[in-house]
Amino acid sequence: MKEKIHPKYVAAQVSCVCGSVFITRSTIGNIKLEICSECHPFFTGRQKMIDTAGRIDRFNQRSQRSKDIRASKQTS
Ligand SMILES: [Zn+2]
């Protein structure tokens, strides 16, 4: 390898919010994840809603509100 151009490639502990931890190597040290292969629906095969900061709730509220508005327009 050419000298002085390669970053340090060190052992890194990768930890996910689901509790899964594994060891790999990286140039940036330890890594924290919000989703990993242990908990992602693609790998688990389970359909699970991953709600980031209540986005699904907010979408449902918005669609309910627009339904209400439409309903009130039809009655008047
Ligand atoms: Zn995970």
| pLDDT one-digit tens code per residue, 7-43 | 999 999 999 998 999 999 999 999 999 989 888 888 8
Ligand 1 centre to CA of 59 (Å) is: 25
Q: How far apart, in whole angstroms, are the C-alpha atoms of residue 63 and residue 56?
A: 11
Q: What percent of the chain has pLDDT over 90?
A: 50
Q: Name the domain count of the chain.
A: 1
pLDDT at position 42 is: 82
Q: How far apart, in whole angstroms, are the C-alpha atoms of residue 9 and residue 26?
A: 5
Ligand 1 centre to CA of 50 (Å) is: 11
What is the SS3 assignment for 55? helix
Note whether residue 59 is domain-resident: yes
Ligand 1 centre to CA of 13 (Å) is: 13
Nearest to 34 by CA among 51, 12, 18: 18
* Distances 37 to 51, 53, 58, 68 between C-alpha atoms, Å: 17, 21, 27, 40
Expressed as residue numbers, the domain containing 14 is 10-75
Q: What is the CATH number of the domain that holds 33?
A: 4.10.80.400
